[in-house]
Structure 1
Amino acid sequence: MHMHSQTPENDDCFAVRQAARHISQLYDRRLSQVGMTTTQFSILSALGSGSSLTMNELAQAMMMDRTTLVRALRPLLQNGFVASKPDQWVNRRLQLALTGSGRVKLDEAMVHWRAAQDEFERKFGPEQAAFLRRELFRVTRDVSNT
């Protein structure tokens, strides 16, 4: 029977989670200047394409459970950056859409997001960052249990 020693150096999950926390903190630090979390920025970006999404569609796009999504959405709804409108044409499901002030907030936040992206790529290397991104999306695609 072959045993793997359980040290952080050979634990894929630990390595990915540690890197994710580190990178999230870098982006959160920048986005906090406009009073937003990385999750909220991602929600505004997802809705920024112009189409409204149901709660389920948004949760799927964000790869989040509904509870976590609702928690992140609440301040965006309260601040009027995202609006919900019941639309009888979509099986009476709640539709979420970016408002005018939400688009302004997204544009404002985008400046800080770009600064975080630039800082990460400067420290890690732009080619390495692009490679990492591709590999992480491949993990999501190939290792997901859906």
Structure 2
Amino acid sequence: MRAKSQPIGVDQCNCFTVRKAARQISRLYDAHLQPSGLRITQFLILATLNERESASVNVLAERLDIERTAMGKMIGVLERDGFVTMRPSPEDGRIRIVELTPEGTSLFERAAPLWREAQHRFSTLNGAENVDALRHSLVEMKVGTDAPSIPE
């Protein structure tokens, strides 16, 4: 008879805890951003473009830690809706440069106060010091660079 192994405590899994918190936080931000029609990931793309004026799809994907193909799809939606434009890079035509349109800038400016409300609500719920400490801890978090690759 095979010995029964210890059950895996899902609530003790670091990945589960962080992912669950991330989903809950995303829902909070999405709810606040809802009047703008944006979700938090779309808002962060617009915010990044607002900071940089333009960026390649790859740079946006790296900056926001989103897979390049997923970023391309999100940019496609924003382009379809008239909030960004894409053009080939003058240095390398294979690279696509993304820029905010005037409509995208206007949407970002309308959504930014909603994002600030979400930031304030999250800090109010959890305490400003706790939120600052959490953000700092997550930035400093080490997860290793030698993670096994996922076969495609």
TM-score under structure 1 normalisation?
0.88
Following the alignment from structure 2 to structure 1, what is the Cα–Cα distance between the partners of residues 55 and 144?
Answer: 23
Q: Which has the higher helix share?
A: 1
Alpha-carbon offset, residue 75 of structure 1: 2.2
Identity %: 33
TM-score under structure 2 normalisation?
0.85
Task: Kindly provide the amino acid, as one letter, of the partner of residue 128 in structure 2.
Answer: P
Change (3 A) 1:88 1:17: same
* Residue 84 of structure 2: aligned partner: 82
1:26-77 C-alpha deviation (Å, 9 max, x unpaired): 0011112111111100100111113311111111111111221122222211
1:83-140 C-alpha deviation (Å, 9 max, x unpaired): 1122322x1221111122111111111111111111111000111001111111112x
Following the alignment from structure 1 to structure 2, what is the Cα–Cα distance between the partners of residues 98 and 54?
Answer: 12
Task: Kindly provide the amino acid, as one letter, of the partner of residue 49 in structure 1.
Answer: E
* Residue 145 of structure 1: aligned partner: 145
> Computing the radius of gyration over CA atoms, which structure comes out larger, 1 or 2?
2
Number of residues paired by the alignment? 141
Alpha-carbon offset, residue 5 of structure 1: 5.4
Following the alignment from structure 1 to structure 2, what is the Cα–Cα distance between the partners of residues 26 and 85?
Answer: 34
Alpha-carbon offset, residue 23 of structure 1: 0.4
Following the alignment from structure 1 to structure 2, what is the Cα–Cα distance between the partners of residues 38 and 4?
Answer: 39
Unaligned runs of 5+ in 1: none
Unaligned runs of 5+ in 2: 147-152
Alpha-carbon offset, residue 144 of structure 1: 4.4
* Counterpart pick for 1:8 among 10, 35, 50: 10
Following the alignment from structure 1 to structure 2, what is the Cα–Cα distance between the partners of residues 113 and 144?
Answer: 31
What is the RMSD computed on CA atoms of the aligned residues? 1.7
- Match status 1:135 vs 2:137: yes
Conserved? CA contact 1:50–1:98, under 8 Å: no
